[in-house]
Chains A and B, each alone.
Chain A
C-alpha cells in the first residue's frame, strides 16, 4: 500500500469521526476561546418553517407602483420590523430585504401568526394631536398635519382583532388637526397597569419631547390632547395640569386588552415605519403538520437508504459493501455539513438530499462497471482498479457538472422571490453532488486499494465476490 493511500485512509477515518461527533445528539457545540478571540457555535439541525411550523411573510412597500422607495427608507423599515420581531420573542427569526421594495420575515414556531402580522405591518405612527375643545371617541380616523409617507398614501388603519359591538367610528375628514409631536420623541414605552389592574401604556419622553409637551400643556390646560396611532384615536384625554416631567400614560376608556397594549408598546418603542407595508405573501405551516412531515421524511429517507444499500450489496457484492461504507460516510458528512454551515433543512431539501444519495451511488456504479469490464478483458486486478477509476472519471465529471449547473439556476430562481422551498432543494442537492464526488471516488478508491493490499491478486479468482 502506498504512502499516499495510508494518509488518505487516516484522513477519511478522522473526518468520519469528526462528522460522527457533530451529528451525535446533544452535541455540546464548538466553543473556542483564545485570549479575547472567541468562537461559539451551537451545533444542531436547523429545521425550516415547513418542518417546524411557523410563518413566512413577504412585506412590500405599499406605494403606487410607479413610485420608487429609497433604499434608506427600506433599510430603516427593515430595522424597525426586525426590532418588532425580536420583541415578539420568536426564536431564530429572520428579516431580510429582498429586491428594492420587499422585506422577508420568517417567524418559526409562532403561535398566533395573525396577531404577529398585525404588529409587524402597522405603520406604528404615534401622534399627539391638538384637538382643541374636541374630545374624540376612540377609533375615530382623523387627518393630521403630519405625514410619514408621501401625501395621499393611505396608512392602514389598525383593525380590531375581533369586531365587537362598537359603533362604526366616524371618519372626520373635513378637518386637519395639528400634530404637536410624534412617537419619535418617545424614549421608552412599556405595558403597565392602572389602579384597577387594567393594562395601560406608560411612556417616557426624550428631553426635547418633554420640552415640547411642557410648553404645549402649559398653554392648553382644559383643552383636549388626542393620542392617535396610525391616524386612529386611541384616547382623547383632557389636559388637567401641565405635563412637565416628560412622563405620561395612555389609557383606553374601553380598557386595553393585554395583547393590544403589548402590541402598541412594541410599536411605540421602535418607532413608526417610514413606508407603509402590505403583506403580499404569507406561508404558514402549523406545528402538527410540520412534525408529521419530519417523521414521514425520516422514515422515507431511512427506508430509501436501506434499499439502496441492499441493492448495491447484492449487485456488486464485495465492491458493493465498499460502496455502502462510502455511502454511509457520505450521509454522515452531509448531515454534519448541514449542522456546521448551517443549512436550514426544508422538506424539498430532504428530498434533494435523498436524491443526491442516488447520484452518489451512480458514480460508484460507473466505476465498478468499468472495473468489471477491465477484469473480463483479462487485466490484473490492480490495473483494473486503476482503469476503472480513471476511465469513469470523465463521465462522472460531465454528468455532475450538469446537475450542479441546474442547482445554481434553481437557487437563483428560488432566491429571487423567496421560495425557500426551491432554494432548499437546490442547496442540498448541490452540496450532495459535491460531497459525492469525494466519497464515491476518493473514499471508495482508498477502501478498495486497502482491501486489495490486504488480499492481493487472490481476490481476482473470486469472481462471485466481485459480482463480475
Chain B
C-alpha cells in the first residue's frame, strides 16, 4: 500500500513555506499601503473610470487633467495598445465628472465609457463591516456544521480542529496569493474576492469531509489495524474521487481564465488557487494532522531528523 501519511513532515513543510510567502507579501503590502492587500474602491470608496479613446493616450497626460482639477491622488493605467485608460481617483461628484469628461474629450477625442464606478466613503465603510460579519458568520456556520457532521465519531473535536486547520490553510494560501499579485500586478481586493474566499472555505471543508467520512466508516470495519494504516487506506480510497472532482472544477476555472472576460480573471484565479489548495490541504494536511495528533508526534516529526543526523 502506498504510504501517504508517513511522509507528512514534507507536506507540512511545503504548506508552511507557501503560507510564509503569502504572509510576507501581506506584510510588504502593509508597510506599503497600510493594509494587508490593495483594497479596491468597494472598501475604500472612490472612483474607477474606464474610457476607450479614439487615439492612444499616455497615463501621464490623462492624469494631468485630473491633477489640474484638484484630484492629485489619481492613478491612471493604460492598456497595452494605449487606447483604453483605467482611472482611479477620489469620488467624483456627477457635475465634476461631466466637466472632466468634457475636458478629456476636447483633448483626446470623444471616448467611449466602458465602465464607471463610484463608491462613496460611507458605502465603503458599510461594505467593509458587512464583509467582516459575513466572514465571521461563514466561519461559525461551517464550525457548527463540522461539529454536527462528526458528532458520533470518537474524538470528534480532533476532526473538527483538523478540518478547520485545513480551511485556515486554504484561506491563507489564497489570500497570500492575492497579496502577492497585488504587489506584482496591482490586484485589488473587492467584494468578489471575498466571495471567492468564502466559496473556497465551503469547498475546502467539503473535500475534507469526504475523506473524514471514509475514515469514520473504516474505523469500525477494521478494528485492530493501527490508526495510521486505516487513515492511509481511507485516503487512497478517496484519492480518485478527490482528484477527479478537482480536475473538473479546475477545467472549468481554467476555461474561464483563458477564454472568459477580463473582469472575471481575478475572481477565477482566487477560486482556482483556493481549490487546488483545498484538495492539497484535505489530503496532505488535515488527514496527516489527525494522525500526528493520534500518535502525539507532531513535535517529534521535525526533531527526529535531527536525532538521525546526530546518530550518523
Interface residues, chain A, with chain B CB atoms under 8 Å away: 50, 58, 60, 113-114, 117-118, 121, 159, 161-163, 278-286, 288-289, 292-293, 296-297, 299-301, 303-305, 307-308, 311-312, 315, 347-348, 351, 354-355, 357-359, 361-362, 365-366, 369, 373, 394-395, 398-399, 401-403, 405-407, 409-410, 412-414, 416-417, 419, 421-422, 425-426, 429
Contact = CB atoms under 8 A, between A and B. Distances in A.
Given A289-B115, A347-B264, A365-B240, 17 more contacts: A113-B113, A113-B116, A159-B95, A281-B123, A284-B117, A286-B112, A288-B114, A296-B261, A348-B264, A351-B268, A398-B209, A409-B138, A409-B141, A410-B195, A413-B191, A417-B126, A425-B199
8 contacts: A307-B251, A365-B241, A395-B210, A399-B207, A399-B210, A406-B198, A406-B199, A409-B134
Interface size, B (range): 35 or more
Q: For A58, A394, A409, which residue has the most chain B Cβ atoms within 10 angstroms? A: A409
Contacts of B37: none
B118 A279 contact: yes
B97 interface: yes
Contacts of A403: 202-203, 206
The 9 tightest CB contacts between A and B, nearest first, are: A304-B255, A406-B202, A280-B120, A399-B206, A358-B249, A413-B134, A300-B260, A284-B116, A304-B252
Interface of B is mostly: helix
Contacts of A289: 50, 114-115
B115 A285 contact: yes
A394 B247 CA distance: 22
Nearest to B133: A413
Given A286-B113, A361-B245, A410-B198, A422 B192 contact: yes
Contact of A417 (B114, B130, B210, B251): B130
A162 B105 CA distance: 13
A114 B118 CA distance: 12
B188 interface: no
Contacts of B122: 60, 280
Contacts of A351: 256, 260, 264, 267-268, 271
B198 A292 contact: no
B134 A417 contact: no
A414 B252 CA distance: 24
Interface in B67-109: 94-95, 97-99, 101-102
Contacts of B102: 162
Given A289-B114, A405-B142, A421 B192 contact: yes
